[in-house]
Amino acid sequence: MALSRQQHLELYYWMQLNRKLEDLLTVMFRQNKVVGGVYSSLGQEATSVGTAYALEKRDWIAPMIRNLGAVLVKGYRPRDILMQYTAKSGSPTGGKDGTAHFGDLHEKRMVSPISMLGDLIPVMAGIGLGARYLGRNEVALTWIGDGGSSTGVFHEGLNFAAVQRAPLVLVLENNQWAYSTPNYLQARLTDFADRAKAYGIPGVIVDGNDVVAVYEITKQAVEQCRHGDGPVLIESKTFRRKGHAQHDPAAYVPKWMLKEWEAKDPIARYEKYLTAKKLWTEKEKNDILARIDRELKEGQAEAEASPLPPAERAAEGVYCDGCHEIRAEWKRSPKPVKPGKNTAQWFDGKTPALKPVAKSKVAAAVSSNPGRRKKK
């Protein structure tokens, strides 16, 4: 389970790619080249990358707006993202949809985001249960915000997943804000992980700016799901360092709070870690940065030179006219795995618990009520 030197370098590559691609998208947005919104995950890269990195190819994700890092880890290339955000004909949606709304149910196993917050939770519980019915040991993972965890469907979805023991890892990305609403106006909880108690499932806390800790706890949760003891809720404590999207300057966020979290930047922190543990050389770092620079330049050039979709395509794919081949592949008779019989085999009368993680891995430093703290 321990990460190799190569894997440590890969985590660095994905986090930097996540950040630099968003920087580029921001510039392109301001040049009016992007069709749709750009949502920044500045400061949250360790959560997206560390969680997705803990999955295997056979597993499923459904990203939210701040999970570009996970989308990259799951196999999309910068070129795909740049084509998609500029709505070009050769993009994952063929230019039919802009920015984050794309997925791939076949190769990459990525469910397209749903804008209605929380709705991906029952969908991903269903994906996990579907895999089990088909006799496949696959795990589904999705993310939800602190704000999104107050929706009705979060509670219905998580309860359903818990009762069915769905192989679902739900990452509650607590970035302290939901648009302009601070946490203390969102829920009367110190830790959002406590929401898990209502459903009898493990709820664990991780320092969301520590990519190795995020990876390790997610790996544990994934293994637990693979053994039939899902779902697991992981609260990742982190911070949204930009506004909700490009149009929002986030003037409502206190300056001291921003400064405090800038000092905890996950990439700068990981660089220090790699150096202290002697896991890389200066040359390896420079090679990674040069590779990212090259990939972004090539992707941008291709996206900007590519055509928009032809007008005739606007009417295509609005209603399914046989264009989809999504059917259940029954590997065995559905009869013996119908709910009831199926769920009984997972039930041993005990509520599962995650093995305790080392104290150092668990975030303790994040204040529960940031909005009420005294100015420094």
Ligand X SMILES: Cc1ncc(C[n+]2csc(CCOP(=O)(O)OP(=O)(O)O)c2C)c(N)n1
Determine if 265 is a binding residue for ligand X (CB under 6 A).
Answer: no
Exactly one of 30, 252, 291, 313 is catalytic; which is it? 252
Nearer to Mg ion, 178 or 214 (CB): 178
Question: Least distance to Mg ion from the beta carbon of 177, Å?
Answer: 5
Nearer to ligand X, 213 or 253 (CB): 253
Exactly one of 79, 240, 241, 270 is catalytic; which is it? 240
Determine if 28 is a binding residue for Mg ion (CB under 5 A).
Answer: no
How would you label 237-258 residue by residue, b for 16+ Cβ within 10 Å and e otherwise? Answer: bbbbbbbbebeeeeeebeeebb
Nearer to Mg ion, 142 or 175 (CB): 175
Long-range contact set of residues 30-36: C-beta below 8 Å, sequence gap at least 24: 30/246, 33/86, 33/304, 34/85, 34/86, 34/98, 34/99, 35/85, 35/86, 35/87, 35/98, 35/99, 36/85, 36/87, 36/98, 36/99, 36/100
- 145, 157, 182, 230: residue in contact with Mg ion (rule CB under 5 A): 145
Nearer to Mg ion, 175 or 209 (CB): 175
Neighbours of 333 (CB within 10 A): 8
- Cα–Cα distance measured from residue 155 to residue 218, given in angstroms and rounded to the nearest whole number: 21
Determine if 46 is a binding residue for ligand X (CB under 6 A).
Answer: no
Question: Least distance to ligand X from the beta carbon of 152, Å?
Answer: 9
Q: Which of residues 142-161 bind ligand X (CB under 6 A)?
A: 145-148, 151
Determine if 178 is a binding residue for ligand X (CB under 6 A).
Answer: yes
Stretch that binds ligand X, among 9-17, 115-123, 261-269, 340-348 (CB under 6 A): 115-123
Are 127 and 328 within 8 A, CB to CB?
no
Residue 260, CA distances (Å) to 109, 252, 254 in order? 37, 16, 10
Are 231 and 129 within 8 A, CB to CB?
no
Strand bridging mode 181-182 / 177-178: antiparallel
- Cα–Cα distance measured from residue 351 to residue 356, given in angstroms and rounded to the nearest whole number: 15
Exactly one of 101, 155, 244, 373 is catalytic; which is it? 244
Determine if 178 is a binding residue for Mg ion (CB under 5 A).
Answer: yes
Residue 246, CA distances (Å) to 101, 235, 363 in order? 17, 26, 29
Amino acid at 291: R
* 202 binding partner (options ligand X, Mg ion, none; Cβ < 5 to 8 Å by kind): none
Determine if 175 is a binding residue for Mg ion (CB under 5 A).
Answer: yes
244 among known catalytic residues: yes
53 among known catalytic residues: no
Determine if 299 is a binding residue for ligand X (CB under 6 A).
Answer: no
- 135, 179, 332, 368: residue in contact with ligand X (rule CB under 6 A): 179
Determine if 177 is a binding residue for ligand X (CB under 6 A).
Answer: yes
247 among known catalytic residues: no
Q: Which two tokens stand for residue 47?
A: 């959560």
Q: What's phi and psi for 168, nearest 5 deg?
A: -120, 125
Determine if 146 is a binding residue for Mg ion (CB under 5 A).
Answer: yes
Residues that bind Mg ion (CB under 5 A): 145-146, 175, 178
Positions touching ligand X (CB under 6 A) are: 66, 115-117, 145-148, 151, 175, 177-179, 240, 244
Active site residues: 240, 244, 252
